[in-house]
Chain A
C-alpha cells in the first residue's frame, strides 16, 4: 500500500532534460519507478535514452523515455498521475500550475529557491483543483521497493513498517540509514520552505490509514508551528506509535538556518517548544538522530510483546 506513491504510480518529470532532471530520472528509473515521460515544450517529440544500472550483480537495462510538449499531452499519452518538478525557480510556478490544471494528482516540487509568493499562489491553486503538492525545496518521497519520486537515495534501505515524514532531506537519509535493517513503508520529505504543500499532519493522517505502516517517525526543525500542530493531531487522531526528532536547539533567534523556513522569530518556532508539544502528545522525542532510531526500535519491540506482557 504505502502512502501517496506506489508501484502503480506513473511519473512525469517536468524539467527532465536539464542536468538535475537527467541525473535523477536515471536514479528514479533504477529504483523501479515507472517514469513514463518528461515535459519540455522545446524538446517535444524527442526520446531520451537512460542507461539504467541494474540491481547489484545484474546487467542494466537501457530505457527510453519520451518527452512531451505539455503535462496534458503526457497524461493523454501515458495516464501519468504523478509529476516531479526539477525546473529552475523562475519557472516553477508555471510548471506546478500546469500540472494542477492538467489533472495530475500529486506534484512533487524538488526545486529550491522558489519565491514564497509563487508557492503561496500554486498551493492555493492546487487546493482548488484537488492536487496534492509535496515541497517545494524537498527531496521528494520514496516507497522503497516500489517507486521513488525525487532525489532520495534508493539504496539506503528497503521496504518495512516505518513511515517517515521530515522537513529535512539529509536527516531523512540519516534516519533511513540508522534504521536500514527495519525498512520503511514510505518516506516523505515535505521540505524546508516556510510554505509547504503537504504538512506533517497530512502525512500523519495518511500513515495512520496505511496498513503497511506500523510506526511513524516525525522529523521537524525550528520555525513556524507545524510540529506543534502535528503534536495536537497525534494526540487527537493517531493510534500508531509516533517517534519524533527536532533539529535546531542551538539555533540563535532571528537567523535563517539554511532552510528558508528554519528561523526562530522572537520566542516562537523554537525546538524546545516543539519537543515539549510532541512529548505532551505522547510522542517520544530523541535527543539525537541515533537516539531517535533507538526509540523506534524500542517501540517496535513493544508492539511485538503479547498482551500478557511476556516477551516471546
Chain B
C-alpha cells in the first residue's frame, strides 16, 4: 500500500527525521486557518497517490491565508491522473539551499534492499539516472547488519552528500524496517539556508503482508476510490477494476492475468481482475460473482477455474448459489478443469440456467464470453 505524502511525513517525523511544519485538511476554510498558523505563507499540496502532481497544478505557493484557501478549494475539485484530490497538505515554506535524493528500494533480483542516494535531488530519480548515471549512487544493504551510522556515512560519502545527512539515512532505515515498508524515498531532502536538513517530500510503500504485526496499519489504510473495489475489499476479495466489458473470475493470480490476456486476444476488453485464490469456497465464488455482476460496464462474465487445490464442484456450487442470490441478467461462461471438474460441470448442467454456458477450454471460453459481451 502506498501512503499519502502527509502520512509519509508523519512516519518520518515519528522516527526523528526533521520535516517542515505542516497540517492536512479537506476543507478550504480550515486551509486558511492552517496557513495563518504557519505564519501566513504556505505551500499547498494536493494529496494524491500518483506522480506528476506538480505539473498538474497540485503544488502551489500561497502568499497569504486567503490565497491558501483559494488554492485548497481549487485543488480539492481536481482529479490528477484519475485520482480525485480528497485532501490537501499545507506546509511552511523553507529556503532551500541544496536538494538531495535518498531512498531504500527493494532489489528483487538480489533479494535485498538498496540504498540509493544522489546529490541531485528534486527531480525524478529515473530522469537523473538516465541523463547522468554517475550522479546516482547505489549501495546494497546487508539485511543482517542494516544501516549503521558507519554504513550511512559510507553511503553519503559515495554520493557526495553532506556528512550530516548520514543521520537521516539511519533513521530512514528504521522507517523501512520497523514499519515494514517496501520503499521509502525522500525527494527532495534539503539543506535550508539556516543549515537544517529537512525531508521536504516523501514516498512510502508499506508491505501489505506485514499487516498482522503492524498494529497501527488500519488507521493508515484508506478504502479504494472505486466503489466496486471498495465493495470487493470489504468482502476480502482480490479484485482490480479495469474498464472493459468481460468480467473475469479465476483462481490463482497467474491464471487470472492470463485469462485477461486471452479475453483481450479474443477481441473484447476485460472488466476486472478477480482471483478467488486456492481452495476457494462456494461462498467466495458467490461473493465474487455478485461483485462482478454489479459492475454496470460488464456485459458478460467469464469464470475460468483450473482446480488444483480448488475443487471445481465447490466453484459450481458457488455459481449456483450466486444465480439464486443475485439473479443475473448477463451471460456467464464457465470453464472448469482439474480437481472434481466432472462433478462441477454436472452441477451446472443440472441447474441448466439459461444464462450459464459451459466451455471446454480456456480459449474457447474467452471467445464465447467476448462474443456474448458484444451481443448484449
Contact = CB atoms under 8 A, between A and B. Distances in A.
Interface in B249-284: 250-258, 260-265, 269-270, 273, 275, 278
A255 B50 CA distance: 12
A57 interface: no
A224 interface: yes
Given A117-B207, A258-B273, A90 B212 contact: yes
B103 to A, nearest CB: 13
> Which 3 residue pairs are nearest across A and B when measured between Cβ atoms?
A168-B254, A258-B253, A170-B252
B8 to A, nearest CB: 17
Contact of B144 (A124, A223, A259, A289): A124
A249 B240 contact: no
A226 interface: yes
Q: How large is the interface on A (under 10, 10 to 19, 20 to 34, 35 or more residues)?
A: 35 or more
Contacts of B261: 247-250, 271, 287-288
A266 interface: yes
B180 A173 contact: no
Interface of B: 50, 106, 108-109, 111-113, 126, 142-144, 177, 180, 182, 207-210, 212-213, 238, 240, 242, 250-258, 260-265, 269-270, 273, 275, 278, 306, 308-309, 337-339, 361-363
Contacts of A41: none
Nearest to B341: A177
6 contacts: A115-B207, A120-B106, A156-B338, A168-B254, A194-B108, A290-B363
Given A169-B254, A258-B253, A259-B253, A117 B308 contact: no
A287 B253 contact: no
Given A117-B207, A290-B362, A170 B111 contact: no
Nearest to A167: B254
Contact of A251 (B142, B257, B278): B257
A194 B256 CA distance: 18
B212 A89 contact: yes
Contacts of A54: none
A127 B161 CA distance: 33
A150 to B, nearest CB: 11
Interface string A297-311: 000000000000000
Interface in A215-249: 219, 221-226, 229, 245, 247-249
A174 interface: yes
B98 to A, nearest CB: 27
Contacts of B212: 89-90
Interface of A: 89-90, 113-117, 119-121, 123-125, 139, 151-153, 156, 166-174, 177, 192, 194-197, 199, 219, 221-226, 229, 245, 247-252, 254-262, 266, 271, 287-290
Nearest to B141: A120
A291 B108 CA distance: 30
Q: Which of A139, A151, A168 has the most CB of B within 10 A?
A: A168
A233 to B, nearest CB: 12
B308 A153 contact: yes
Contacts of B270: 250
A152 B339 CA distance: 11
Contacts of B50: 254
